[in-house]
Amino acid sequence: MNTELFYDTIESRLRNDNFSESTIKLYVSGIKRFTIFTKKNDVNEIDNNDLAKFSKSLFKNKSLKNGTLRPIKYGINYGFNTILNKNLDVNLIPIPKSISIPKEYFTKQEIAHFFQSISNKKHKAIFEIMYALGIDTSEVINLRITDLNSKKRTVTIRDNTTKIKRVAFLPASILENLRDYYKIYKPTLYLFEGQNEGSQLSDRTIQHTFRISVEKNNFNKVLTTRSIKNSHIKHLTEDGIPLNNILEELNIKSTETLKLFNDVCFPTKKYNSSPFDTLQMEQKNNSDFLDTTDLEYILSKVTDEEERDYLKEGLRCFKANALRAGVIFLWTASVYKIQKMCLTQSLGFINTELKKIYPKAKEIKVIDDFGYIKDEYLLELACKLKLLDKTKKEELKNTCLDLRNKCGHPGKYKPKGQKIKAFVEDIIGMLY
């Protein structure tokens, strides 16, 4: 296959696979760079030796950044491996680890001052709606007039292919400013248009406008348009909204992104303190709220809907300081997880071992059948099936299940914060 036909084929396939135009441009550019380097007219003749030489040439240019190397690597993988089935070893192009960049955000006072300092109503409306909805520049430039529903107070957020990503809440407080902007600029298709009627505003224009506006305010921090979304999430957590709820609303699911926003919202701080200083206070007052950061991280990795629901309920209870209820829901999530673990074994094996533990047990066919089995029998079964070792089984039974039973029965029992913390750590350590 000659190179020109190869380029056309790649562009066509990328569009069929719903890649954005910017990604298509980057991938094709990276592939062209590689094929031109090889000086071979037939792309089928290109092999790993060519790729190794190309990689070596790339790293002679020490100014190349990750943002340049990634599309080259991924473009070559798509073109030669996905389309041509060449099995080129794209790992010959290593991607250096990114330098950690501070996840800066505006304080509430700073972003209010930032908005007030912008006299241009269009620019002000752009940044206000980005903050109000928690969206990036790529999402704000795709907003169409028809995506806004002022009666239902919703905004439809789309990606570069116009596919709906989510439906966001439109706060009433921003509507008046949007109406003022609309009366002046009268957009026809996109909510924020370029110089020509009906044209899409460019990402570069927003970035440039943002930099100028930030420089006028002399903020003593490195801020980017990404800081607006960081601020949206940070300020919602300050208003008492749980981080996992915010990220779910924004349709953010990756564990890496959860870690990033966890660092933004709950940064690690140095401290000069000792538990001895608060020992007497702990004896008098046991109302401190449990730190749920680890549970939120676990929740982000769980894909099973029912297990997620139990974990969410537990999180809500712990955040509300309803500790006994939180213990019950977290234990329920753990039991459900163990039931799923058991079902990875054959039904014959499960039922044979279960009868040895509890001869009157109902035969297990589906997960709901575990509902007829006591939790302690389930733990014994998981141990018999080699899913839990004896130490974990005993710890879960004698410590975690015991606390769950105490919390689930009427009485004056109120577990102390340290007891709850140990329970949560045991569950996470042994099952997650």
Of 92, 121, 148, the position where a domain reaches its end is 92
The CA distance from 397 to 379, in Å, is: 7
Flag whether 375 is in a domain. yes
Q: State whether 291 and 408 are in the same domain.
A: yes
Q: State whether 384 and 418 are in the same domain.
A: yes
| Containing structural domain, residue 331 | 276-431
Flag whether 382 is in a domain. yes
Instruction: Phi first, then psi: give them for residue 148, nearest 5 degrees.
Output: -95, 130
pLDDT at 97: 62
What are the strands of the beta sheet with 154-158, ordered from one edge? Answer: 148-149, 154-158, 164-169
Q: State whether 48 and 151 are in the same domain.
A: no
- Digitized pLDDT (tens) for each residue of the chain, 432 residues in all: 899 999 999 999 998 887 878 889 999 999 999 999 999 989 999 999 999 999 988 877 665 666 678 889 999 999 999 999 998 998 888 876 654 545 788 999 999 999 999 999 999 999 999 999 999 999 999 999 999 998 888 999 988 777 888 999 988 888 888 999 999 999 999 999 998 898 999 999 999 999 999 999 988 888 999 999 999 999 998 888 888 888 888 888 766 677 777 877 777 666 666 666 555 544 544 445 677 778 888 887 888 888 988 998 888 888 878 888 889 999 999 999 999 999 999 999 999 999 999 998 889 999 999 988 899 999 999 999 999 999 999 999 998 999 898 888 777 778 877 888 888 888 888 898
pLDDT at 276: 65
Of 164, 199, 225, the position where a domain reaches its end is 225
CATH number of the domain residue 69 falls in = 1.10.150.130
Reported as half-sphere exposure (CB side, CA atoms, 13 A), residue 244 has a value of: 21
Q: Give the per-residue SS3 of the chain.
A: CEHHHHHHHHHHHHHHCCCCHHHHHHHHHHHHHHHHHHCCCEHHHCCHHHHHHHHHHHCCCCCCCHHHHHHHHHHHHHHHHHHCCCCCCHHHCCCCCCCCCCCCCCCHHHHHHHHHCCCCHHHHHHHHHHHHHCCCHHHHCCCEHHHEECCCCEEEEECCCCCEEEEEECCHHHHHHHHHHHHHHCCCCECCECCCCCCECCHHHHHHHHHHHHHHHCCCCCCCCHHHHHHHHHHHHHCCCCHHHHHHHCCCCCHHHHHHHHHHHCCCCCCCCCHHHHHHHHHHCCCCCCCCHHHHHHHHHCCCHHHHHHHHHHHHHHHCCCHHHHHHHHHHHHHHHHHHHHCCCCHHHHHHHHHHHCCCCCCCCCHHHHHHCCHHHHHHHHHHCCCCCHHHHHHHHHHHHHHHHHHHCCCCCCCCHHHHHHHHHHHHHHHC
Q: State whether 171 and 286 are in the same domain.
A: no
Q: State whether 296 and 218 are in the same domain.
A: no
Q: Is the dihedral of CA 319, 323, 327, 332 positive or negative?
A: negative
Reported as half-sphere exposure (CB side, CA atoms, 13 A), residue 101 has a value of: 11
The CA distance from 65 to 88, in Å, is: 22
Q: State whether 350 and 311 are in the same domain.
A: yes
Task: Return the exposure string of 148-181: e unless at least 16 CB atoms fall within 10 Å of the residue's CB, then b.
Answer: beeeeeebbbbeeeeeeebebebeeebeebbeeb
Q: State whether 350 and 285 are in the same domain.
A: yes
Flag whether 392 is in a domain. yes
Amino acid 170 reads L
| Chain centroid to CA 170 | 22
Flag whether 312 is in a domain. yes
Flag whether 243 is in a domain. no
Of 59, 92, 125, the position where a domain reaches its end is 92
Unique residue bearing structure tokens 């089928």: 44
The CA distance from 90 to 352, in Å, is: 49
Instruction: Phi first, then psi: give them for residue 345, nearest 5 degrees.
Output: -95, 165
Q: State whether 88 and 113 are in the same domain.
A: no
Flag whether 33 is in a domain. yes
Q: State whether 218 and 124 are in the same domain.
A: yes
Number of domains in the chain: 3
The CA distance from 400 to 423, in Å, is: 6
Q: Are 308 and 302 in contact (CB under 8 A)?
A: yes
The CA distance from 354 to 360, in Å, is: 9
CATH number of the domain residue 211 falls in = 1.10.443.10
The CA distance from 106 to 235, in Å, is: 9
Q: State whether 124 and 29 are in the same domain.
A: no
Q: State whether 34 and 152 are in the same domain.
A: no
Residues 6 or more apart whose Cβ sits within 8 Å of residue 310: 329, 330, 332, 333, 336
Q: State whether 380 and 299 are in the same domain.
A: yes
Flag whether 421 is in a domain. yes
Flag whether 372 is in a domain. yes
